[in-house]
Amino acid sequence: MVGLGTWLIPNDDAERVCTDALNLGYRHIDTAQIYQNEEGVGNALVSSSIAREDIFITTKMWPGMYGDETFQTFSGAIEACEQSLKLLQLNEIDLYLIHNPFATNSRVELWEAMVELKKQGKVKHIGVSNYNVKHIKEIEDAQLEMPVANQIEIHPYHMIPDALEVYMNNHNILPIAYSTLAPLPNWREGSRWNSKPEAMKNDPSIPFLEVAELSLIHI
């Protein structure tokens, strides 16, 4: 399934963009607490004539970032989900993810909150994002329910590491790709999020497919 990612879409534009996407045939919308546009996404869902069961909604809890004074807690994670439900105007989130693994000392605690949210019926499926083997193995070692998915950046210049791919396959964890077209646009240029290879950075006229084919040879 191809979904609409809403990163960098302002809340004031989210309703229009999501409405247009639904009308064009999109049935998966991805948002997040940190995007600050869940309200706009929710307004689009409410105003749509498409049945709720035909739309798959993913959102993500923000656990914190390196440099933050505090990281999310168990109770904070519960509250974050309840706030997302309110903004999205939903009774249940189809897929709820922990956005990153940076809450080093509370990763297991946050996952326990995710399991609790599923038990309460507030989310249908739970997963993670940007996790590597070490992070997911903490969940396994704690003998908790495993994630159904790991949302990670995937494109010809940012493939899944072999060890992570094997681990996820062995534990039936589905990969969800984001920024699959990241090498094509210019919006990441000048930032650490730029995924273009050096060849394309130095010569923008080089066709993407030509570079991709060369890259895939070495994968």
Residue 14 CA to residue 43 CA, distance in Å, equals 9
The two three-digit tokens of residue 67, written as one number:
């440099």
Of 120, 36, 30, 125, the closest CA to residue 78 belongs to 120
CA atoms within 13 A on the CB side of 124: 11
The catalytic residues are: 35
The edge-to-edge listing of strands for the beta sheet with 93-98 is 4-5, 28-30, 56-61, 93-98, 123-129, 149-153, 174-178
Of 135, 175, 127, the closest CA to residue 155 belongs to 175
Residue 163 CA to residue 131 CA, distance in Å, equals 12
Dihedral sign, CA of 130, 134, 137, 142? Answer: negative
